[in-house]
Structure formats: structure tokens, C-alpha cells
A and B are shown apart, each in its own frame.
Chain A
Amino acid sequence: MQHYDAIVIGGGLVGSAIAYGLSRAGLKGALIDEGDVAFRASRGNFGLVWVQSKGLGAPHYQRWTRLSADEWPALASELRERTGIDVGHERPGGVHLCLSEEELAERGARMEQMRNEAGNFGFEYRMLDPDELKDMLPGIGPAVLGASWTPYDGHANSLSLLHALHRGFLARGGTYLPNRTIDYAGVAPRDFRLGSGADQIGAPRIVLAAGLGNAKLAQLFGLSAPVRPQRGQILVTERTSRVFETPTTTVRQTVEGGIMIGDSMEDVGFDTTQRPEVMAAMARRAVLSFPFLAGLQIVRAWAALRVMPPDGLPIYDESEKFAGAFTANCHSGVTLAAAHANAFAPMVAAGALDPVMAPFSAARFDVPHAA
């Protein structure tokens, strides 16, 4: 039996950010990962570090997201120093485009409500008219009637982020165990033992960060993680000279020059196939937003599965039955990477979640039915 201070199950962005944070706190960690058969939301995502749409009616989620966006620059520079990997983080603010009067009115109302709910915490936003948008986003088309903007948003190269978190974890003495499934789990308070093939490992802390796999895994540890898959599709154009730095919710240009288009949310179960009709609809709206895109070639396209809790908000929990077992579930592994490394991991290291995390508990789904 190999003993560690903490075991993290799941080597995607959520798990590796937590494992990185734990190793930085001085804990001897093991990171268990699946193989290339995994669904890997971390390798299919859009790469936004996004704040402005998060937490309507749930100000704790807005605060958590903002905390992460604020911690992102420090995480990015720390990863560059420790691993030599530039994760390409930029925070020029972000824009959500509206292509009809109806969309514009709805967006304006949503942003105002976000500001009201933020209270003293504050929520800075502006609605931009087409003239202002032209300066910020050259190439924008006449179909765009306006947009919301906040200074909090940004983007990054999520593949570099995943690479850097893994390398940072390893550099701190972490143990990475890929191509594993959990064959056996011995579960007791602050005493967790896992068997995987010939390996046996144990630790007083365990964090479940296995994405869609958490739904099953959580039950073994007295936890609940009712996550479901939500498909998203992405198109990427050939690389061009830099047109704009500001990301939008559905179109962004990477630092390398490719323009990513991501604009689908589909409830289709565990189906990662691409759908031409969805891709066409995405391309159509992108070209309406930025007519020059029509002249560019699409060089890559893919579909991937988001990890979606029932209400879209993250689930963070600790087991009441088995102290020392934690779970982390969200569809924003890039945005929340800094919160996971710099805020969530220290709580796990300390042995208990901070009371501010209580609203994220899966207990919120256990609402008694009315008689």
C-alpha cells in the first residue's frame, strides 16, 4: 500500500488544478486518471475565463467565478515560472453579442439584475452600441445590434493550462497514475484505500474530480454528484493575423491566430458525434456577427461533453459520513482553475470546506416534495 496525504480522482482540469494546489500546499499527492477513452471535457472546451454570464439568481456563484478570474493572472504567472509553460492568459474584458432587439433587451435586463444581486460586491458592466463595438471588435457586422461588456472576462489556451498543471504537480513530487479504473474502494473517515489493478494506495483525504464519472463514484463515498452530459460543438478556422483580442461568448481569436466558434448546448446523453446542422447554425450566426469569417477555412471541428449539474451551478461537497472525502463538479474547468488551485485545494488541505462553500453543496437538490 502506497500512502499519500491526498488522492485526487480525475486528471482533467478540475482534478489537476486541485492536485496542483494540494502539492503546492506541501501535500504528497496521487492523481488518478483514466486513459484516452475518457470523455475529456478538458480537451474539448472553448478556453474562456468567463464571468459575465455566471450566477444569475446565485450571487455566490458570481463571487466564486470572480474570485477565480481575479486569481487567474497569479496562477498563470506562477505556472510560467514553475513549468516554463505560457498558458496564454489574457484578460481584456469580454463581450456577449446581441443580434436582435429582443436579445439586446433580454441581455440588458439580465446584466442589470446581476448588478442588483451583487450588492456591495459590485458588478461593473456596460451595454455597448455598434460604434463602440467596431473599435473593440474590428470586422463586426451590421447584424450585431449591441452587446454587453464586463472587464472581468478573458481567455486562455486550455490545453497549455492542462499541461502546465500536470507538470507543476509532478515538479512538486506528485504521483500521476494514468490509465486507471477504481476496482476497489475501502472507505472510512479520514482513511481511504483504493485498489486499481495491482496498485493499492491510501490517503486520509480524497477528492472526486472525475467529471461525468463522479455521478457513480460519489455514491461510494457518501456523496452525491448528479451531473449529466451536455454536448457542445466547436469549429476552428485557419490561423490569421490578429484581428481582435476581446473574446466573445461564442467567437474568440486565440493568441495563435485561429478563430474558435462555439455555440451549442445539446442534451443528447453520452453522444460525442458532430452534427452538420448544428455546425451550420453555429457558422451562420458567427458569419452574421463577423462577415469576414465567411472567407476563412474551417480546419478543425469537434464535439465534447460538458459536465452539467442539474441547475448549471458547480457542486462542491464534503462527505458527512466519511470525513476527508470531497467532490468538485463544474462545467467551467478553465474559468474556475484558479479558484480550484488557490482556494478549494487549501480547504481540502486544511481538512474541511469553508462555510462560504455551503450553498454549493448537493444538499440543495434534496428539496422535500410538497404534500
Chain B
Amino acid sequence: MFRTRPEATGATVAVTVEGHEIRVPEGASAAAAMLLAGFSSTRESSIGGVPRGPYCLMGVCFDCLAEIDGVPNRQGCMVTVAPGMAIRRQHGKRAAGVE
């Protein structure tokens, strides 16, 4: 569904999306990596549990929330990929970290 722009540089940065390795251009966002990995829905919303995906891609809509390197609820569009980054879908609300 999504392709990189023709002027984009080569896919050189290896990250994992839901455990699957994928190479994306340097400077791409984690949200772009999820789209390129074939996920149009990248999270379930926190109240209704409905599927959502990256929309504005500029830090406003909060619909691209993802778990990145173990940190939940990060805005995928605002995080630039780094080699070895582990990106996962955000399933509803995060845990609060209270036993």
C-alpha cells in the first residue's frame, strides 16, 4: 500500500517491526517503517480498542503510537529509525508499571 518516494535513499537501516526485520532509508520515521512493513493499522485505541494507524505523520494526531525499544506509547512519526530498533504495535493502554 505504501512505497517510498522515488528520491529516497536506499533502504540501509535494519529495524524490526513486530519481530520481522525490514530495511528502511536512513532518516525514515518508525511510523514509516511500520507502513513499509505492511501494517496500515499499527495500534488499537486506548478506550474503544479500534484499529488505528499513522495519519498526520507530523506529531499532531497521536494515531501512530507504538512501542519502540520497549517504551510504549511513543509517537512513531516523531522517532527516527536507528539500526536494530525494535518497533511493536501499541495494544490499547500501556501498563502503568505498578505491580
Contact = CB atoms under 8 A, between A and B. Distances in A.
B19 interface: no
B47 A241 contact: no
Interface residues of B, number: 12
Contacts of A109: none
B47 A256 contact: yes
B98 A292 contact: yes
B1 interface: no
A297 B93 CA distance: 13
Interface string A121-155: 00000000000000000110000000000000000
Interface string B75-99: 0000000000000000001111111
Given A238-B73, A257-B93, A243 B46 contact: no
Nearest to B45: A239
A239 B46 contact: yes
Contacts of B73: 238-239, 297
Given A238-B73, A297-B73, A257 B46 contact: yes
A295 B98 CA distance: 10
The majority secondary structure among interface residues of chain B is: loop
In this complex, the member of B46, B93, B98 whose beta carbon has the largest number of chain A beta carbons within 10 angstroms is B98
B96 A292 contact: yes
Nearest to B94: A240
Given A256-B46, A297-B73, A239 B93 contact: yes
A254 to B, nearest CB: 11
B98 to A, nearest CB: 4
A38 interface: no
A139 B47 contact: no
A296 interface: yes
A235 to B, nearest CB: 16
Interface string A227-261: 00000000000111101000000000000110000
B96 A296 contact: yes
Nearest to A295: B97
Contacts of B93: 239-241, 257
Contacts of B95: 240-241
Contacts of A257: 46-47, 93
A269 to B, nearest CB: 32
Contacts of A243: 96, 98
Interface string A260-304: 000000000000000000000000000000001001110100000
A139 B46 contact: no
Contact of A241 (B62, B96, B99): B96
A289 B97 CA distance: 15
A200 to B, nearest CB: 43
Contacts of A238: 72-73, 94
Nearest to B99: A138
B94 A239 contact: yes
A299 B95 CA distance: 16
Contacts of B96: 139, 240-241, 243, 292, 296
A188 to B, nearest CB: 51
Contact of B98 (A139, A256, A297, A299): A139
A114 B96 CA distance: 36
A355 B73 CA distance: 54
Nearest to B47: A256
A67 B98 CA distance: 36
A31 to B, nearest CB: 30
Nearest to B96: A240
A93 to B, nearest CB: 20
Given A139-B98, A240-B94, A240-B95, 18 more contacts: A138-B98, A238-B72, A238-B94, A239-B46, A239-B47, A239-B93, A239-B94, A240-B93, A240-B96, A241-B93, A241-B96, A257-B46, A257-B47, A257-B93, A292-B96, A292-B97, A292-B98, A296-B96
Interface of B: 46-47, 62, 72-73, 93-99
28 contacts: A139-B96, A139-B98, A238-B72, A238-B73, A239-B46, A239-B47, A239-B94, A240-B94, A240-B95, A240-B96, A240-B97, A241-B94, A241-B95, A241-B96, A243-B96, A243-B98, A256-B46, A256-B47, A257-B46, A257-B47, A257-B93, A292-B96, A292-B97, A292-B98, A295-B97, A296-B97, A297-B73, A299-B62
